[in-house]
């Protein structure tokens, strides 16, 4: 059986990086391991024949750190949606010694609530549509076409027109 470099210290470093929101590949770069090693260790954690418990410890800690990061970020988004976070606090001492604290708070941000809804509920997702028309604005129907951005020097493949929307145009 091959020796692994996975140990408690490395687990702690990876968990810290994942808990800060780094993607797996960046956490691996930070810790000096390959992403392939990370995924191999995660695979070994699921292997019922694996005898080394460190892989299970690692997988559980990595998943928990990622979930905590997600929870923290979602809470920030929810707070932004509701508003009310103190954005500025000024303490004013008036003549005679009276102290007044003036706070400015954030307004509710509907965009944050919309963002959450789009990602959680399919019916609220924004769908990006691109309309392509033929000569004279004729309707074109495409089947099995994948659209992607291309560079200036790339040659585009010819697309067969199935139906141009005009009688006798095929």
- In the predicted model, residues of the chain with pLDDT beneath 70 are 1-4, 141-170
pLDDT score, position 1: 44
* Confidence (pLDDT) at 12: 97
Q: What pLDDT sits at residue 115? A: 85
Residue 34 placed within a domain: yes
| CB hemisphere CA count around 133 (13 angstroms) | 6
User: How far, rounded to the nearest angstrom, does the alpha carbon of residue 151 sit from its chain's CA centroid?
Assistant: 26
User: What predicted TM-score, i.e. pTM, was given to this entire model?
Assistant: 0.61
In-domain check, residue 3: no
Contact 117, 124 (CB under 8 A): yes
Pairwise CA distance, residues 30 & 89, whole Å: 37
In a domain, 64, yes or no: yes
Residue 79 lies in a domain: no
Residue 142 lies in a domain: no
* CB 77, CB 112: distance < 8 Å: yes
Provide the residue range defining the domain that includes 50. 8-69
- The answer to whether residue 135 sits within a structural domain is no
In-domain check, residue 59: yes
- For residue 160, the model assigns a pLDDT of 56
d(Cα 18, Cα 11) in Å, to the nearest integer? 10
What domain count does the chain have? 1
pLDDT at 9: 96
Residue-level pLDDT at 161:
53
- Looking at residue 127, its pLDDT comes to 74
Asked if residue 78 belongs to a domain, the reply is no
Q: What is the pLDDT of residue 102?
A: 92
CA distance 110 to 99: 35
């Amino acid at each position: 059986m091959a020796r692994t470099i996975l140990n408690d210290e490395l687990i702690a470093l990876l968990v810290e990086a994942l808990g800060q929101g780094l993607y797996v590949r960046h956490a691996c770069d930070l810790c000096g391991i390959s992403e392939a090693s990370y995924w191999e260790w995660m695979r070994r954690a699921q292997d019922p024949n694996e005898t080394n418990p460190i892989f299970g410890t690692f997988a559980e800690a990595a998943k928990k750190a990622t979930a905590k990061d997600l929870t923290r970020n979602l809470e920030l988004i929810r707070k932004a949606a509701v508003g009310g976070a103190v954005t500025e606090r000024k303490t004013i001492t008036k003549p005679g010694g009276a102290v007044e604290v003036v706070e400015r708070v954030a307004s509710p941000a509907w965009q944050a609530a919309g963002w959450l809804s789009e990602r959680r509920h399919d019916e609220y997702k924004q769908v990006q549509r691109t309309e392509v028309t033929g000569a004279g604005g004729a309707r074109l129907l495409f089947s099995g076409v994948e659209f992607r951005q291309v560079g200036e020097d790339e040659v585009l493949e010819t697309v067969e027109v199935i139906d141009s929307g005009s009688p006798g145009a095929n």
